[in-house]
Amino acid sequence: MKEIKLTDVGQLKNELAKYKKGKKLDIRLFNQVARLAWLGKIVLSPLDPETPDCKAYLLYLQPLDGLAREIITLDEDLNGMPFAAQIHVLDAEQGGRLAEIFRAGMAHRVRELEALNKREFYLEQFFEPGAKR
């Protein structure tokens, strides 16, 4: 963990300014976080909603579970330990992109669930199309 000396007010202001800007993930880590976003396994919120010039996001990564945990491979250095929950401070650009990916994944799942809700399994399984009765 990073240590900041509180006796130097200038250094403290510089560190706070860095946090307000957020940090970019490298390509490999962004791709892994994007997979989690598509699955709905992230929580994004503005870092400081009361400050208009602060565009950074807080990103919370939820651990994978169930079938997704068995299929999707995440690097251990994403979290230090595989599948552990973690919080990051992201810059505005990457945070916005992850929000778009999250929405796209959610919309895809909604379409699949709506199609499943309308599907008639009995008719599909017991009656062949075009067969005479």
Tell me whether residue 96 is in a domain.
yes
Domain count, the chain: 1
Mean pLDDT for 84-93 is: 82
* Percentage of the chain modeled with pLDDT above 90: 36
Question: Does 132 fall in a domain?
Answer: no
pLDDT attached to residue 107? 97
8 is a domain residue: no
Domain-embedded: residue 6: no
- Residue 37: pLDDT above 90? yes
* Structural domain span for residue 111: 22-121
Residue 7 lies in a domain: no
Higher pLDDT, 124 or 129: 124
Is 11 part of any domain? no
Kind plus residue range of the DSSP H or E element containing 79: helix 76-79
Mean pLDDT value of segment 32-38: 92
53 in any annotated domain: yes
Q: How far apart are CA 83 and CA 51, in angstroms?
A: 33
Q: Is residue 89 part of a domain?
A: yes
Q: Rounded to whole angstroms, how far apart are CA atoms 71 and 51? A: 40
